[in-house]
Structure 1
Amino acid sequence: MTDRAPSPTPSERARLDAADRARGEEEQAKLPYKWTQTLEEAEVNIPIPGNLKARDLVVELKKGHIKVQVKGQDAILDGDFPHSIIVDDSTWVLSSKSDNTKEILITLAKARGSNWWAHIVTSAPKIDTTKIVPENSKLSELDGETRGMVEKMMYDQNQKAMGKPTSDDQKKDDILKKFMREHPEMDFSNAKIN
């Protein structure tokens, strides 16, 4: 039998989650870009001075890498993706936000079977993907397999938060109980179950 630390109370869990969220938001705020995502794509917004034109920029999108820079300057964003993208379905545009600021808007099409990204590039701080809650309206638009996976993840996350077994834990327990019923001749009294 292993000694485990007691699970935090709901109020302690809420406090820890709030601290994690604040730390994550602070790390993300320090990045030279903002980003959001859905299961199908990630969107990156990079603010730049308003006097720059598209010809002043280098934007390279490869299957596993991104590089964004103003010509002659250090890269604003340069690194490997955590998962592959579909290059032909990914785009970037330059848009004006005001007279003195513009924004590079990059839409990255995630490769099939991709999932929530913890970061845009692997060298950047990670976000906690277990805390992502997709919009309900978007959940209904997912294909059956993806929707099932997301609903399972949400169920398991909720179960863990309440200190209850996940769906995988329940499945293992059901298999064990069935095995024990089918084999009454075996002695399970000294069995250790993790």
Structure 2
Amino acid sequence: MAILSEYEEDQKPTKPSSSGKPFNAALDPSNPLGFLEAVFEFVSRESDLFKSDSVVRDVNALVRAVKEKVDSEEKKRREKAEKRASEERARASASVKEEKKEAEAESEKTTDGKKAPNKGNGLDMDNYSWVQTLQEVTINVPVPPGTKSRFITCEIKKNHLKVGLKGQPPIIDGELFQSVKVDDSFWSLGTSALHKTSTKALHIHRIRKSISVLLTKQNQMEWWKCLVKGGPEIDTQKFDQRQKSMGLPTSDEMQKQEILKKFMSEHPEMDFSRAKMS
């Protein structure tokens, strides 16, 4: 038994002897590989790690795992930063849109409460719209599909207009801003197609019917501020500002052109080939 005991003692693994030197290397951010080299040298002195045949594979696996962890954390950090930046851009965009909306709403009114005119120097109302030239006023009143002419009531008087559907409250009923030439004014029922085109065919989305009323002004040298008295008024100066920005004639220039046209029609014997508007 003594011999066996001695044999067992001989078979016990021996622990590597420690050098007794503490690890005292410091990490220099400019030379991280130098720090790793010091770590590996310390581990090689204090353990049998580098005596293993798989040490290179094991260390590579460890480095790979750390690298994947770092990449994953960096990806999450970038995604978080991008999300924060996207949210900030969205908030900024919403703020700009809100400011633009407020500015547009503010521009729709002048200091005296008048509204900015539409592109036709008239006004878009909830249930109809109107535009004008110096000579005429054109009103467009949308009506339900299937509406027939016999369902419509339209009374055009010198100073009054009434438009609507029979059996229903009138859509327009009021004293006109200025008098009109009744004999030169009329109404009609028309249709317009709201559609979009594709490379293969024309797709009709909806057919809209509307009453179109044309009023010929008595005074053809003045813009109307409203369609009917008591209704919303437009700021006709806004029209001139828009026309000027688009390189189009202002109301004053258009008025001068109309005066010249009228004078030319009344004097066909005269030569106006060199006439210029100033």
Q: Secondary structure at the match of 1:45?
A: strand
**Contact 1:83 1:114 (C-alpha < 8 Å) held by counterparts:** no
Mapped partners of 1:146, 1:127: distance in 2: 27
Give the deviation of 1:144 after TM superposition. Answer: 3.6
* Larger helix proportion of the pair: 2
Of 94-103 and 118-127, the range deviating more from structure 2: 94-103
- Match for residue 143 of structure 1 among 259, 268, 276: 259
Q: Secondary structure at the match of 2:183?
A: helix
**Contact 2:117 2:234 (C-alpha < 8 Å) held by counterparts:** no
User: What is residue 170 of structure 2 aligned with on the other side?
Assistant: 75
Instruction: Structure 2: state its 5+ residue gaps.
Output: 1-102, 110-114, 194-205, 264-278
Q: Secondary structure at the match of 1:55?
A: helix
- Is 1:132 aligned to residue 246 of structure 2? no
CA RMSD between the two structures: 3.1
Using the size of structure 2 for normalisation, the TM-score is 0.42
Mapped partners of 1:121, 1:42: distance in 2: 12
Mapped partners of 2:210, 2:220: distance in 1: 30
User: What is residue 133 of structure 2 aligned with on the other side?
Assistant: 38
Higher normalized contact order (CA 8 Å, seq sep 6+, divided by chain length):
1
User: What is residue 34 of structure 2 aligned with on the other side?
Assistant: none
Task: Name the larger-Rg structure.
Answer: 2
Alignment of 1:2-13 (within 5 A): none
Mapped partners of 2:132, 2:218: distance in 1: 13
Amino acid at match of 2:108: A
Q: Secondary structure at the match of 1:131?
A: helix
- Is 1:94 aligned to residue 210 of structure 2? no
Instruction: Structure 1: state its 5+ residue gaps.
Output: 1-16, 148-194
Mapped partners of 1:144, 1:126: distance in 2: 29
Structure 1 runs of 4+ with >3 Å offset: 17-21, 25-31, 144-147
Give the deviation of 1:21 after TM superposition. Answer: 3.5
Question: How has the CA–CA distance of structure 1 residues 146 and 123 changed in structure 2, closer, same or farther, with 3 Å as cutoff?
Answer: farther
Question: How has the CA–CA distance of structure 1 residues 29 and 145 changed in structure 2, closer, same or farther, with 3 Å as cutoff?
Answer: closer
Question: How has the CA–CA distance of structure 1 residues 131 and 145 changed in structure 2, closer, same or farther, with 3 Å as cutoff?
Answer: farther
Deviation per residue, 1:115-157 (Å, 9 max, x gap): 100111112100012223364398374114999xxxxxxxxxx
Mapped partners of 1:56, 1:124: distance in 2: 26
- Is 1:63 aligned to residue 124 of structure 2? no
Question: How has the CA–CA distance of structure 1 residues 25 and 136 changed in structure 2, closer, same or farther, with 3 Å as cutoff?
Answer: closer
Mapped partners of 1:61, 1:100: distance in 2: 27
Mapped partners of 2:176, 2:117: distance in 1: 21
Using the size of structure 1 for normalisation, the TM-score is 0.58
Mapped partners of 1:52, 1:136: distance in 2: 39
Mapped partners of 2:152, 2:130: distance in 1: 19
**Contact 1:49 1:100 (C-alpha < 8 Å) held by counterparts:** no
Deviation per residue, 1:59-107 (Å, 9 max, x gap): 0000000000100000011000111000000111100124552011111
Give the deviation of 1:35 after TM superposition. Answer: 0.9
- Match for residue 105 of structure 1 among 196, 202, 212: 212
Deviation per residue, 1:33-68 (Å, 9 max, x gap): 111111101111110111111100000000000000
Matched-pair identity in %:
33
Alignment: residue pair count:
131
